[in-house]
Copies of this chain bind each other. A is one copy, B any other.
Amino acid sequence: MTTPLRTAEVIAVGSELLGWTRLDTNSLFIAEQLSRLGIELKGKAVVGDDRARLTNVFRQSLARTDLVVLTGGLGPTDDDLTREAVADALGLELVEDESITVSIRHRFERRGMRMPEVNRRQAMVPRGAESLSNANGSAPGLSIGVNAKLVVLLPGPPRELQPMLLALCARDGAIGRRAGSERLYTVSLFTTGVSESHVEELVQPIYATWRDLPTPIETTILATPGQVELHLTLRSADKDAAVRTLERSRDELATAIGDAAFSADGRQLPRVVGDMLRERNLTVAAAESCTGGLLMQRLTDVAGSSAYVKGGVVAYSNELKARLLGVDEALLTAHGSVSEPVAAAMAEGLRRQTEADVCVAITGVAGPGGGTEAKPVGTVVIAILIDGHPLAVRTHLFPGGREMIRLQATQVALDRVRRMLMQ
């Protein structure tokens, strides 16, 4: 029995990942899969298509970690240098793996094409490497044992990389076989409507004690626009006990946080609200001004949302607020389009037009222009009309730029619907 793999580094290869536009996102997926096996990601690197530099970075990485995963640079062109750099660093010769050549040739033949000679490069592998079949592309993956360590080479495109990594991490895969008996388990708790520091204040006294347990629980707080997430992690060899402990701990935090905690199972707010609507057999519609369709887009992003989303109206212009929602022009003139009476009239007009059970109206100033002293950029009025509830109209003021303001407006609208449905 060899020592289990405990630590890993990821090296993403490709000059395009060093520009201004593209990030290596594969490393998130890799971090997640490895951590489930109890293998901790200790570092990441991005290197351009530069053989000497890649050889150097890879050698240093392998010196300080048990597992190195390289992604990208396995294509057929001269730019693709990962095989060469790894062979250089390990002092291995590149030899043609006939079975790879055959499988690439078949891949082309199935599409009625001849394999270009250049693709033969993809069959050149460091001597002793084990090849991994690629269901979605021509580049095979490779895994190479180096004493007690392991080196894995995967293609860059996520749809090729992901199934290959999952196979490697399975119980009988090259990584799965070498993982220890301990696994990392996680649960999450999502909150909205409370600030990060307020959440911290509520939960810190609780989670602070977990660090000193025999099996310590690690708590991470992550703030994203309109949402604060808590992630609890625990390393254990006993799955059932770990899950029990984590769920009990998560519930303790949920109790301390109260209504602001909206999801204990990874579901985002549009899906949580959607599930509540579905359970209650209710339909929803929206009348959007400043959010311009974002609320409906988020609701309908959820697969299966046609069961409860009727649709609605984007009334960006005052003309359409009147025409499509029947908002009285006198109301618009008297109060302005960003006002509580207009938001209320939008919600009522929407109900007349759609007969949806839950009607949400949003009007506001998303900026950058259009702000006034009385109604600065970020002012958003949200009206919610639900059968059996009084009409709820409230004015909010959101910080940040146009995109942030629009996102927060939809998040608060969804959260207010959620809270009303809970009553």
Contacts and interface: CB of A to CB of B under 8 A. Distances in A.
Nearest to A23: B23
Interface string A271-313: 0000000000001011011011111110111011110011111
Contacts of A369: 303-304
Given A222-B22, A294-B293, A296-B292, A319 B310 contact: yes
Given A35-B20, A44-B18, A222-B22, A300 B310 contact: no
Contact of A324 (B17, B28, B53, B324): B324
A323 B292 contact: no
Contacts of A17: 44
The majority secondary structure among interface residues of chain A is mixed
Nearest to A44: B46
A314 B317 contact: no
Interface in A359-413: 367-370, 402-403, 406
A255 interface: no
A368 B295 CA distance: 21
A21 B222 contact: yes
B28 A20 contact: yes
Interface string A147-160: 00000000000000
A128 to B, nearest CB: 27
Contacts of A310: 316-317, 319-320
10 contacts: A17-B44, A23-B28, A56-B60, A292-B301, A300-B314, A300-B316, A305-B316, A312-B314, A324-B353, A324-B354
Given A43-B47, A304-B369, 14 more contacts: A16-B222, A18-B44, A23-B23, A43-B45, A43-B48, A292-B296, A292-B305, A293-B293, A293-B314, A294-B297, A296-B314, A309-B316, A310-B319, A313-B324
Shortest 8 CB-CB distances between A and B: which pairs? A292-B300, A293-B293, A293-B296, A311-B316, A293-B297, A20-B32, A311-B314, A44-B46
